[in-house]
Amino acid sequence: VHALLVCNASSELTALRNMEEHFNPSTLPLIPYLLKMNFHSEKASNRVSNRKFTPPAVSLKRTMLQGPASTEVAVGLAEKMIQMFSLNPDQAASLLQIARMMASHEAKPVEEAHTFPITIIRGVFGAGKSYLLSVVILFLVELFGISEATENPRPAPWKLLVASSTNVAVDRILLGLLDLGFEDFIRVGSIRKITKAILPYSLHAGSGGDTEQLKELLALLKEDLTPAEKKYVKKSIEQHKLGANKTILQQVKVVGATCAACPFPCLNALKFPVVMLDECSQMTEPASLLPISRFQCEKLVLVGDPRQLPPTIQGSESVHDKGLEQTLFDRLCLMGHKPVHLRTQYRCHPAISAIANELFYEGKLIDGVSKEDRSPLLDWLPTLCFYSVNGVEQTERDNSFYNMAEAHFTVKLIQSLIASGIEGSAIGVITLYKAQMCKVQNLLSSVHSEAFAIKTVQVSTVDAFQGAEKEIIILSCVRTRQMGFIDSEKRMNVALTRAKRHLQIVGNLACLSKNRLWGRVIHHCKGWEDGLQHASQCEQQLHDILKCYLEKWKEEEQSKKKEK
């Protein structure tokens, strides 16, 4: 038997095929702005040429892209919504920039119109990006309504596409809309990948025929779901039988889909003059261009944080060196486009955010929450702590690393948290290696499930945790000999900024202290009360917590049996 191990390039090949079918530079209104936006900045053009970016030989004559309302109307509506939704100054600046972008400039020639049809929003972790984008969507929908009431119908009616590279990112924005009481949207995607609460508003165009989709929904209903999730699936089944969402798709002003779902046939007849790309700093440029080109985008909103994870690129280091990792977000900024910065974080305790502020954000972060807002959940649990574990790194057959000493300590810490009254859903475990994730998951699955409600504890790699947050994060570093990619600044930034109240780092003190970045992290931990602990010293405390809890649990179980 012969086996050939090759790189799975299906997504890259699909992206290329989609670009070939749908990307026509001569008919795309945004092309001049995507290739040569800032015509007057010498500094910007120098920066681009350093990266060997040369615009292709196509006509770059800019045309006026009219908006749905006058500047006065658009800005007036934005100012009203800034007050209504209590936006902070940076969020307000973002909405006002979008308002000016959406305005018509009938009285001004192209050369005098200083507003470009692209808005870039650069937001730090926990900056309320999803909340802001939900408010932006409400603003755009109202603006579209004003346009329809006051102007003649246009060839392509005003519609908005909300897109991202991940299903989680798209659903997060749509869930934000539901929180604000807005339900007039359709989510296009595959049944299994859509958040249950969004299913009733979805169209499952990529999952085979209607009969197969109905079977999949009915099968989903038989799975281990919460009562709320069952309600959403039942409602989705009703909508599917009626075919209601197919009809609504043509009428709604807001549609959500991943970039990969953009070629779905149900979207063939639609145009989206406005496209919003979330987590754009995590998308390859071909993925970003698909929704822009396929739906004849005229106004574009890009949102991301280039200090967090870049796109995942399959291949050797040479592939990265040749610029495939460079995103549309990065390239437009290099061209001189000034993004609007969201600098206020509302997630982390100030002691936790201080690490990222020093290491990755040049001290420009603003804390939107105080230490009182993020008071400790348990007296014995430090806000910030490095637990030194003397384990040994090992490798699986796929060359992924794991550390059993760290895995055992992590599970003991989780059990102690649950024994102290913490809900499993409040705890997240992040590791930088898939093998370590599997080891922790396996150990958790062997824990007494009746005594410890560990099912809802999330255990993920850094890549899978981007955009998520938990009250308590346990970060397992794994490595004991060399650093590997655990000293990647972007990976570290994501890993260190998921915790709201408690960040517990489990690692090898001797190894990590030698690294420039991790040495500074450990220095921060040392400055906090009980911020540096040796696992061997605190294991007795954890053992006592577990012993006391299990004795009490056994007594309660015996008394229940006696009552029966």
Which sequence spans correspond to the domains of the chain? 68-105+114-313+324-345, 363-551
Asked if the model's pLDDT at residue 2 lies above 80, the reply is no
Asked if the model's pLDDT at residue 477 lies above 50, the reply is yes
- What per-residue confidence (pLDDT) applies to 46? 46
Q: Each residue of 151-205: pLDDT tens digit?
A: 777 888 999 999 999 999 999 999 999 999 999 999 999 888 999 999 999 887 6
What's the rounded Cα separation, in Å, for the pair 308 and 489? Answer: 8
- What per-residue confidence (pLDDT) applies to 272? 95
Please check whether residue 162 is in contact with residue 170, taking contact to mean a CB–CB distance below 8 angstroms.
Answer: yes
Residue with tokens 């809802």: 456
Bridge pairing between strands 254-258 and 185-188: parallel
Answer yes or no: same fold for 68-105+114-313+324-345 and 363-551: yes
- Alpha carbon of 186 to those of 68, 140, 200, 460: distances in Å? 22, 16, 9, 29
Per-residue pLDDT band at 45 (split at 50, 70, 90)? very low
Please check whether residue 275 is in contact with residue 300, taking contact to mean a CB–CB distance below 8 angstroms.
Answer: yes
Residues 218-233 have a mean pLDDT of 86
Please check whether residue 275 is in contact with residue 292, taking contact to mean a CB–CB distance below 8 angstroms.
Answer: yes
Pick from 525, 457, 517: which is nearest to 486 by CA?
Answer: 517
Per-residue pLDDT band at 219 (split at 50, 70, 90)? confident
> Which residue pairs from 207-215 have beta carbons closer than 8 angstroms and sit at least 24 positions apart in sequence?
210/240, 213/240, 214/240, 214/241
What's the rounded Cα separation, in Å, for the pair 29 and 51? Answer: 25
What's the rounded Cα separation, in Å, for the pair 192 and 212? Answer: 13
Token couple for 516: 């420039």
CATH of 363-551, one of 1.10.3720.10, 3.90.1300.10, 3.40.50.1820, 3.40.50.300: 3.40.50.300
Pick from 18, 39, 563: which is nearest to 287 by CA?
Answer: 18
Bridge pairing between strands 499-507 and 470-476: parallel
Sign of CA dihedral 348, 349, 350, 353: negative
- What per-residue confidence (pLDDT) applies to 113? 45
Pick from 296, 293, 327, 325: which is nearest to 122 by CA?
Answer: 327
Token couple for 359: 């290491």
| In this structure, CATH architecture of domain 68-105+114-313+324-345 | 3-Layer(aba) Sandwich (3.40)
**201-227 in b/e burial notation, b at 16+ Cβ within 10 A?**
bbbbbbbeeeeebeebbeebeeeeeee
